[in-house]
Structure 1
Amino acid sequence: MSEHEAKAAVDGRERVGLHFLSVAYQVREKVDQRMTAAGLSLSRTKVLQLLARRGALHQAELAEALGQAPRSVTQTVEALERDGFITRASDTEDRRRKTVSLTATGQAALATAEQAGEQILQQLFGSLDIHQLARLERLLDLVNDAATGAT
């Protein structure tokens, strides 16, 4: 491979990488918009999904599981509590700790938001046939493997 071909390959990787980031951002925005229109943003949905999967959690555990700063989670939790989607209770052993639980209202909102998210993803990826989807999934797995192994 010539020096020019090597540079073109590297430039192509950067171009494709930037294109991927742009497309991923657009998909995330479309999903968030559709879910928000259904009553629950994507970020708030992630909190409720975690509580639905793992059950009641302390706020610190919730922040850690989400990979977010405790302050950011506190603001989200307060908003979810105001909307009646979760409850917070003081820990019996340490009153400073709050245990967060999903409510029935939160479960219903979660189901609605997840359905809206699924519908937009089906719409966005609906133009791909089964073989294209399988190939895209394999390619995304390769990129994910490289990203999780990168420092």
Structure 2
Amino acid sequence: MCGTIPDVMSKHETTPPTSPDPADVGLRFLTVAHQVRTAVDQHMAAAGLSLARTKLLRLLAQRGALHQAELAEALGQAPRSVTQAVEALERLRLVTRTPDPVDRRRKTVTLTEQGHAALAAGEQAGTGILQRIFGALDTRQLTRLEQLLTDTDEATRHSATP
């Protein structure tokens, strides 16, 4: 019985996990977010409406007719960008633009019936792909992801101010 005791610890030892680098995790988050956004945009475009156009139409559906400047402010975009988007939507007959009765230089944008139908189709396509992507997660994972997103949102709000 004189012998050496086998080194049992070496079989069970593991290297301690390293803490992930926050910048690496942040970059991965941005990459995944971009992939999800691209998938949503592609599915919505296949249904006839891009994600960007859907946002503009949704705003009109929620708030009613708006001046182009109000649309630009609400969307956080440059007025010229919104003007171009509205012109494209008008060519597709999804919105109408009418001169303001007081200031004829200002245009009021209104969602048409075709716009309502296109919005419904685009939103349905967007919802469908999001259901497929996030439906692959179980309830526990979705709950955890929701909490992580809430925490990340809060951290972003606190870190955004200099």
TM-score by structure 1 length?
A: 0.92
1:142: which partner in 2?
151
CA offsets 1:74-119 (integer angstroms, 9 cap, x no match): 1100000000000001001100000001000000000000000000
1:61: which partner in 2?
70
Count residues in correspondence. Answer: 143
Aligned partner of 1:69: which letter? Answer: A
Pick from 16, 20, 29 the counterpart of residue 29 of structure 2: 20
**For 2:81 and 2:132, how far apart are their aligned partners in 1?**
31
**For 1:58 and 1:34, how far apart are their aligned partners in 2?**
29
Gaps of 5+ in 2: 1-17
Aligned 1:10-89 pairs, distance under 5 A: 12-89=21-98
Gaps of 5+ in 1: 1-7
**For 1:96 and 1:148, how far apart are their aligned partners in 2?**
38
More helix by share: 1
Computing the radius of gyration from Cα coordinates, the structure with the larger value is 2
DSSP-derived class of the 1:101 partner = strand
1:113: which partner in 2?
122
Q: What's the C-alpha RMSD, in Å, of the aligned pairs? A: 1.0
Aligned partner of 1:21: which letter? Answer: L
**For 1:20 and 1:73, how far apart are their aligned partners in 2?**
29
**For 2:94 and 2:145, how far apart are their aligned partners in 1?**
35
TM-aligned CA deviation for residue 147 of structure 1: 1.4
Pick from 96, 100, 106 the counterpart of residue 91 of structure 1: 100
**For 1:37 and 1:47, how far apart are their aligned partners in 2?**
18
TM-score by structure 2 length?
A: 0.86
- Displaced runs of 4 or more, over 6 A: none
**For 2:69 and 2:99, how far apart are their aligned partners in 1?**
13
